[in-house]
Amino acid sequence: MDASKTLIFLYLCAMTLDKNPPRDKGNYDAGNITALEGLEAVRKRPGMYIGSTDSKGLHHLVWEVIDNSIDEHLAGYCSHIDLIIHKDNSITVRDNGRGIPTGMHEKLQKSALEVVMTVLHAGGKFDKDTYKVSGGLHGVGVSCVNALSIHLRAEIRREGRLFEQEYSKGIPSYDVRDIGTSDDTGTQITFTPDPEIFESTEYKFETLSTRMREQAYLNSGLHLSLTDERQIEKGEPRIERFFSEGGLAEFVQYLDQGKSKLIEKPIHVTGKEDNVEVEVAMQYNTSFQETIYSYVNNINTREGGTHVNGFRRAINRLFKTYGDDAGLFKKLKFAIAGEDFREGLTAVVSVKVPEPQFKGQTKGELGNSEVTGIVSRVVSDILKHWLEENPTEAKRIIDKVILAATARHAARKAREMVQRKNVLTGSGLPGKLSDCSSKDPEASEIYLVEGDSAGGTAKQGRDRMFQAILPLRGKILNVEKAMEHKIYENEEIKNIFTALGVSITENDYGERVLNIEKLRYHKVVIMCDADVDGSHIVTLILTFFFRYMRELVQNGYIYIAQPPLYLVKKGKQFRYCWNEEERVAAIAAYSEGKGGENSVKIQRYKGLGEMNAEQLWETTMDPDTRIFQQVTIDDALEADRVFSMLMGDEVPPRRAFIEANAKYAKVDI
């Protein structure tokens, strides 16, 4: 449901309120019927409203509630939002906004609060003068959260009074009641997700804290806190507070921590045109990557959109003009591509748009075409002045742009060599690949397996009809530290490219494009040992996919296999266990009978190599029993951020490479 509409609707209701007239219990009017039907629809098809019923959907409930509080902040009435994870994984969100109106609406015969909490699609006039988080990407409204909770309690402080109402699966347990006085205002909602709806009801501290931190940067001046009552230390629950005065400039510093900076402090842009607010912060570091986070009405737009296009356009044009005017590009024999201007750029682009249109597969892309020009103009105005006032830093950026262009040409040569060679060697498939017989990409899977020996076991254990095996030798190249041309020369990475059937070419603007039309498998499974080394290798491979084959992650083609951690045995009986809980349960079950605890044997699987082919098939490869983790762009993004923070501290070897490798450089410059 479009919650912003609900809020406006309520606002209108609130202005024509009757002061708490008695409720006619027997009156089953249109309002009631709509409410019940709506709640039923949500419970029947929760995925349609909150995306999924896995951990992601579970966390979505929290975003829905918090978004409403953030709207209240954007409207100028709320300075504090507190989030609490209780021991039983129920959640409290508390804000000090105006409080949801509680008065009765005559026609609907229910309080405004009850309407917010129970009615889907409550219509109304869209208020174009305010930006709404909840009208954007999430925007199904708090009534969905209510419908999917076995219990929800709303506590409202307003007009000097304290009100409450409780619900079960969205159905009110009683009418709103006045239970006392209050000397402040605000809304507090506590809900318990329904375990019959959700696959897991366990909240992750890190997932919640990441988003709270992000919201603190996006809303400078807003105080947020996250308390976890499940984690007690010295009698106190774990609590983290988030507050930012510097806003996006601090966000960029946070994203770039550990990286060597090219300019003193982030460039911070703010402006407004035609009711569209623009805020951008940017910094250049010595890495090779472009990292742009973008937001519309405080919601992350993962697929970018017109605001990001406007930003890129401004960067490309301004630096191009600046470099041309200063004669800095004179010696270059080839054109500079747009992406050369953005190598090592970290930026956050945030816009507030009254009526955002979202496009794309996951509705994560801003579509409003007018925004491109607006962002481009606002950024250009400020960047122009910055360039004039900071010539030394500007020169440093241009130098990096020239290096980026030169390295891109060297990489192209290396890539073309590799891709040409593949064409020459018959099938073009790597010798180490044990391919499957199926030629249907949708039905085919490829396992990237750590180590030759585990690769051998996987080859014996697989179903060769649809499962291909590609063993990787030890650790693959660290793409964070390596120059791009090295990537294409690396044996393991070459094998991944050719086995998958994807290639990289350049478009007319010299920008790299990944061609995945010939992708040979729609499931690409990373299979590593369940230990520290194994998870390091998973991170390496994920970083590689994120940097060089992002579309595969975006399309949901990348998976991580989950081998079991233990085998618990008693006589001929055995059970595989994937976590501590299962291990304890298995031991308990087997200890009951004859022989007791002593007859139970526990084997800890340290590596894939400890399993035989049959065991590996049963536990990790058989589609009927295996557990796969599908990699989302969020996982990859986080892997990438953590990774570059850990690895990115060194001055990259780029300049040394260019100087030492004057062969290419001479040809090209």
Q: Site residues (CB under 6 A) for ligand 0RA? A: 7, 10-11, 14, 68-69, 72, 95, 97-101, 187
The closest of 546, 566, 560, 665 to 615, measured between CA atoms, is 566
The closest of 280, 231, 286 to 381, measured between CA atoms, is 280
User: At its nearest, how many Å lie between ligand 0RA and the CB of residue 150?
Assistant: 21
Would you say 103 or 304 has its CB closer to ligand 0RA?
A: 103
Q: Which helix (H) or strand (E) holds 570?
A: strand 566-570
Query: Is residue 634 flagged as an active site residue?
Result: no
Query: Is residue 450 flagged as an active site residue?
Result: yes
User: At its nearest, how many Å lie between ligand 0RA and the CB of residue 82?
Assistant: 12
Tell me how far apart the alpha carbons of residues 492 and 500 are, in angstroms, rounded to a whole number: 12
Catalytic option among 72, 450, 492, 640: 450
Would you say 15 or 651 has its CB closer to ligand 0RA?
A: 15
User: At its nearest, how many Å lie between ligand 0RA and the CB of residue 494?
Assistant: 54
User: At its nearest, how many Å lie between ligand 0RA and the CB of residue 401?
Assistant: 46
User: At its nearest, how many Å lie between ligand 0RA and the CB of residue 189?
Assistant: 7
Catalytic option among 194, 343, 484, 529: 529
Would you say 187 or 283 has its CB closer to ligand 0RA?
A: 187
Catalytic option among 533, 610, 634, 635: 533
Tell me how far apart the alpha carbons of residues 406 and 188 are, in angstroms, rounded to a whole number: 57
Q: Amino acid letter at 8?
A: I
User: At its nearest, how many Å lie between ligand 0RA and the CB of residue 65?
Assistant: 7
Count of positions (residues) in the chain: 669
Would you say 187 or 620 has its CB closer to ligand 0RA?
A: 187
Query: Is residue 435 flagged as an active site residue?
Result: no
Tell me how far apart the alpha carbons of residues 647 and 651 are, in angstroms, rounded to a whole number: 10
Q: Do 496 and 473 form a contact (C-beta atoms < 8 A)?
A: no
Query: Is residue 256 flagged as an active site residue?
Result: no
Tell me how far apart the alpha carbons of residues 189 and 153 are, in angstroms, rounded to a whole number: 6
Q: Do 185 and 161 form a contact (C-beta atoms < 8 A)?
A: no
Q: φ and ψ at 85, to 5 degrees?
A: -95, 120
Contacting residues for 446 by C-beta, under 8 A, at least 6 apart: 436, 467, 468, 469, 470, 499, 500, 520, 521, 523, 524, 525
Q: φ and ψ at 506, to 5 degrees?
A: -115, 145
Q: Amino acid letter at 409?
A: H
Catalytic option among 531, 582, 635, 638: 531
* Angstrom distances, CA of residue 136 to CA of 144, 189, 579, 665: 15, 21, 38, 48
Would you say 95 or 445 has its CB closer to ligand 0RA?
A: 95
DSSP lists the bridge partners of residue 11 as none
Would you say 158 or 352 has its CB closer to ligand 0RA?
A: 158
Calculate ∠ Cα 587-589-593, nearest 5°: 105
What is the distance of C-alpha 518 from the center of its chain?
27
User: At its nearest, how many Å lie between ligand 0RA and the CB of residue 217?
Assistant: 21
Q: Cβ of 596: how many Cβ atoms within 10 Å?
A: 10
Pairing of strands 523-527, 566-570: unpaired
Would you say 70 or 366 has its CB closer to ligand 0RA?
A: 70
Contacting residues for 102 by C-beta, under 8 A, at least 6 apart: 111, 112, 113, 156, 158, 163, 176
- Core vs surface per residue 562-577: b (16+ CB within 10 A) or e: ebbbbbbbbeeeebbb
User: At its nearest, how many Å lie between ligand 0RA and the CB of residue 68?
Assistant: 3
Would you say 132 or 547 has its CB closer to ligand 0RA?
A: 132
User: At its nearest, how many Å lie between ligand 0RA and the CB of residue 479?
Assistant: 43
User: At its nearest, how many Å lie between ligand 0RA and the CB of residue 128?
Assistant: 17
Tell me how far apart the alpha carbons of residues 280 and 310 are, in angstroms, rounded to a whole number: 11
Q: Amino acid letter at 157?
A: R
* Angstrom distances, CA of residue 659 to CA of 400, 401, 485: 14, 16, 15
Would you say 69 or 294 has its CB closer to ligand 0RA?
A: 69
Which residue of this chain has its Cβ atom nearest to ligand 0RA in the complex?
Answer: 68
Would you say 6 or 444 has its CB closer to ligand 0RA?
A: 6
Catalytic residue numbers read: 450, 529, 531, 533
